[in-house]
């Protein structure tokens, strides 16, 4: 998020905040320091000149005169030393304050840089952790879809087996039904088988549609569509069988062979989907 724009500030303030001492400020401080030294030296020279002007005009250089002037000389020297020391102490104090400010500025800059580096490292670590979590979640989703599709293929195979098994039972039932003299008897005898075949057919088509929901692979979709297409052969062969047994009271070999061809085709298509799904699970789902 972008920071709000700040009003323009003087160059001196910007440089102080950024930690860089401007060249003009350093020159000004140096000039003040030199001026203070010059003033102190000028005061010392003035005091010395006053002292000499006071001492030299004296004509009498006897011992009493010198003894009287010595305290004055000592007083002037003491005042000069005190003034000089005060100036030196003030200059050193200013230098110490400047050094303390400079040290504090450098420490603050180092702390800010260290904090910025730590923040960048934390952000990078957080980004890496998020990427790792996303990748782990993706792998888990793929693994879950693999397991769900594997179960869906098993359910499709079971539904196809149940349907083909009922078709084979229909042919066995046909050998008994064809001997019944009445058409209604034959129709009633095959009604239960036909009803069960319709239920198994719907269940098989439902399982195929459910399996297609767990994959976006075109080859798997095509294989499942092929299995679904074979159900038409089974229902058509079952209708032919009912027509021959109920109406004609016969069970031609061609009708029985049509049922077994439909069963074989359905089992072959189911085997293909199992084989393809197994290969994809071994080599990689995506």
* pLDDT digit string, tens, across residues 153-203: 999 999 999 999 998 888 888 888 888 888 888 888 888 888 899 999 999
What share of the chain has pLDDT > 90, as a percent? 24
Residue ranges making up the domain that contains 269: 147-283
Q: Report the number of distinct structural domains present in the chain.
A: 1
Residue 104: pLDDT over 70: yes
Inside any domain, residue 223? yes
Judge whether 34 lies within some domain: no
Q: How confident is the model at residue 50 (pLDDT cuts 50, 70, 90)?
A: low
Whether 129 maps to a domain, the answer reads no
Q: What is the CATH number of the domain that holds 234?
A: 1.20.120
Question: If you ran DSSP here, which 8-state letter would residue 85 be given?
Answer: H
- Whether residue 245 is contained in a domain is answered as yes
89 is a domain residue: no
Work out the mean pLDDT of the chain and round it to a whole number. Answer: 78
> In the structure, what pLDDT confidence band is assigned to residue 109 with cuts at 50, 70 and 90?
very high
Does residue 107 lie in a domain region? no
35: in domain: no
pTM over 0.85: no
Angstrom CA distances, 13 to 1, 26, 29, 85, stand at: 25, 14, 16, 34
**What is the C-alpha R_g of the chain?**
54
Q: Which residue has the higher pLDDT, 30 or 100?
A: 100
Q: How far apart are the first and last CA of the chain?
A: 38
CB atoms within 10 A of CB 221: 13
């Amino acid at each position: 998020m972008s920071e709000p724009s700040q009003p323009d500030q003087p160059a001196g303030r910007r440089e102080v905040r950024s930690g860089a001492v401007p060249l003009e400020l350093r020159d000004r401080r140096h000039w003040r320091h030199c001026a203070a030294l010059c003033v102190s030296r000028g005061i010392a020279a003035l005091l010395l000149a006053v002292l000499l002007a006071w001492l030299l005009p004296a004509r009498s250089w006897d011992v009493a005169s010198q003894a009287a002037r010595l305290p004055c000389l000592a007083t002037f020297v003491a005042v000069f030393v005190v003034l000089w020391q005060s100036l030196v102490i003030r200059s050193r104090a200013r230098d110490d304050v400047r050094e303390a400010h400079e040290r504090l500025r450098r420490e603050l800059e180092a702390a800010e840089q260290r904090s910025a580096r730590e923040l960048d490292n934390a952000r990078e670590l957080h980004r890496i952790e998020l990427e790792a979590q996303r990748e782990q979640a993706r792998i888990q989703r793929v693994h879950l879809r693999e397991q769900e599709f594997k179960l869906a293929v098993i359910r499709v195979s079971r539904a196809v087996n149940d349907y083909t098994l009922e078709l084979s039972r229909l042919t066995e039932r046909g050998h008994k039904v064809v001997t019944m003299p009445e058409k209604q008897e034959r129709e009633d005898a095959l009604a239960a088988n036909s009803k069960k075949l319709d239920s198994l057919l719907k269940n098989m088509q439902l399982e195929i549609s459910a399996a297609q929901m767990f994959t976006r692979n075109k080859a798997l979709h095509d294989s499942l569509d092929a299995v679904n297409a074979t159900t038409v052969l089974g229902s058509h062969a079952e209708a032919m069988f009912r027509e021959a047994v109920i109406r004609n009271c016969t069970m031609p070999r061609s009708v029985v062979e049509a049922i077994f061809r439909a069963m074989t085709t359905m089992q072959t298509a189911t085997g293909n989907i199992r084989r393809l799904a197994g290969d994809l699970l071994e080599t990689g789902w995506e």
